[in-house]
Amino acid sequence: MMPKSVLFNANVAVKASQTDPLFLSLQQALAGRYSLDRELGRGGNGVVYLAREVRLDRQVAIKVLPPDLAADPQTRERFLREARTSARLAHPHIIPIYAVDVVEDHVFYAMGFVDGESLAQRVAVRGPLAPREGARLLREVAWALAHAHAQGVVHRDIKPDNILIEIDSGRAIVADFGIAAAVGARSDGVIGTPAFMSPEQVLGGELDARSDLYALGATAYFAFTARPPFEGSDLEVLSRHIAEPAPSMAAVGLPMPRYLVQVVAQCLAKARVDRPRDAHQVAELLGKVLAERRELPAVLRAFVKRDSRTNGMGTVGVLLAACVPMWATASALGIWSIAVGYVFIVMAAVVFVIRNALRLLGDGFKHVDVVSAFEAELVMLREERRLRPRPALARLQRVSAASLRIIAGASLTTALAIAIGPEGFVSDAVYALMGVLFVLALFAQLGWVAARLGQSEDTQFWRSLWSGRVGAWSFDIARRLRGAAPVSLSMTHRATELSLSLASESLFTSLPADVRRSLRDVPEVLQCLQEGASRLRDRGKRLDELLMSSMSGDDVADIVAEQEHVARQLEETVGALERMRLDLLRLHANVATIEGVTTSLRGATELHRHIQRHLEATREVEDVFETAQAGEVNAPLDEGCTERRRVD
């Protein structure tokens, strides 16, 4: 049941609107056609009431021009003209306008009623949007703008208050085309909301679709940071829209996918030619952000969250468990025997990583799966961990880290004194000191771990471990240990090249031993093609990111040409994998020969070498790209693949 205080406040609001002179006169004029309920809001260009259309028995929102404005013929005509322009728009993400009319000096239009909240209200109540939710809502707004622009209509007032979020469906709906204008029209004075206006709109220049894209970029900035790009008085904000580049969302400090930051930055470009060409392109770019967020399969999700790590309390537990036997060994055999204990710990770590790699291989996953899983997990963690920092935990982590450094220094000094000290120097007091230092180190590490886990999971460290040389090395050893053991093809979201490679490996391992010996190079060629395709795909993504930040027309042309070439190479590489899978299937069906498969192997190897030669030939261009992207663009294909044996 609704609390009495809420009911009382709602009743007061309804009674207040129903005693408003405009409400009473409008209701009298529309009696029998619309039944007004209450006021929903008001602004400089109209008042909106919730009403029910009698004939169709549906809720509508009625926007009426205030009497003082309706008395001006020019304002009255402009209101009607803009309402009729908006009524031409029919799109799932645009509020429909049902009627535009004048009744007894009341100028109004009736539109669909959205039961929900505005984007501004959503951010005010819940804080900045998560990247995935925000990208979805903004893509829907971009779709709506693309439809309006195709009809020759510019909204001119895109802002968080004019983006409604429906409760039932969660979809974004663009509202209030009340100041919309035709494409190519010039602003009649400064019309719009200062915090979200494009530079050309501020200057009263000619408007086109890209003016709305600037406002959409400013709205996106607000959605992800809870503040507009520029703040201050209206005059200060307007001048900054003209003269200052918009700050990057990355500077706010919230975790945000780099690609999404670049999309928003491009929309906020001062020059229209530097913005996306149209709203369709913005929707496409935001769609790429969403496409990166695929759900991890259960096996990989468990691995990145739990099975891949011994950090936190697990590490402390291991050290505590190792403490007693190491202390006993040191007491019996001498202080140097502790080194033997550390060797055993390292060996246990090696067994741990190889055992995990063996299990993942058995489930049908490869090293590239693990890399992608950690990347996806990091993005999700950044969204989930967008909490305010906890100063006490941060201080505890700093104190614990400093204590560990001091204890390490004291331990090293004691160990050196034992090593170079005179005979008989080692006494019970020295052992007691070492024991105290060891216990203090454990407590300091426990404090550091507690502070670290209280702030965020240490996924970044384990991503670096498993995605780097250690992870690749463990999978390489595990692959040799497994030999020709069959692979389970787990249900998972994976790239086409990985699925084809796994399927082909499974087919190869099920061939007779003598056939496998004749085609012994198949696994290496499959791995080389799969890795090459994966890196080409990553290269394409990085080129997309670079394209977002490139302003020069020549640079854009070079990047687009490189994108097309990379796309063709990717298609050819995946096609080679597909042909090899079909050849292996034909071998199983006894409709192909070993010589035919060998020919396919030669062709696949030559294709890979051709890709490598192209990458070497364009290395100079890549260096330019890397300079523009601060060293984060276009890593070449795995050099190890160039050393694959020539297929006989």
608 and 528 in contact (C-beta within 8 Å)?
yes
309 and 462 in contact (C-beta within 8 Å)?
yes
For residues 498-522, b (16+ Cβ closer than 10 Å) or e, as one string? Answer: bbbbbbbbbbbbebeeebeebbebb
CA distances from 516 to 507, 510, 531 (A): 10, 9, 22
What is the token pair recorded at 38? Answer: 């209450």
Give the angle subtended at the CA of 641 by the CAs of 638 and 647, to the nearest 5°: 165
Strand order in the sheet with 172-174: 116-118, 163-166, 172-174
Q: In the 3-class helix/strand/coil scheme, how is 77-141 assigned residue by residue?
A: HHHHHHHHHHHCCCCCCECCEEEEEEECCEEEEEEECCCEEEHHHHHHHHCCCCHHHHHHHHHHH
CA distances from 601 to 122, 497, 498, 576, 608 (A): 57, 16, 18, 9, 11
What is the token pair recorded at 284? Answer: 């496409």
Taken in order 146, 147, 151, 157, the sign of the CA dihedral is negative
3 state DSSP class of 49:
strand
To the query of whether residue 307 is one of the catalytic residues in this protein, the response is: no
Reference 545, options 637, 635, 633; nearest CA is 633
Give the angle subtended at the CA of 464 by the CAs of 460 and 470, to the nearest 5°: 150
286 and 135 in contact (C-beta within 8 Å)?
yes
CA distances from 609 to 126, 542, 580, 637 (A): 53, 22, 17, 11
50 and 40 in contact (C-beta within 8 Å)?
yes
What is the token pair recorded at 398? Answer: 């700093």
Q: How far is the C-alpha of 474 from the C-alpha of 490, rounded, in Å?
A: 20
Question: Rounded to the nearest 10 degrees, what angle do helices 469-482 and 367-384 cross at?
Answer: 140
Of 37, 157, 234, 278, which is the active-site residue? 157
Classify residue 280 as exposed, middle or buried by CB count within 10 Å of its CB (0-12, 13-18, 19+): middle
List the catalytic residues.
Answer: 157
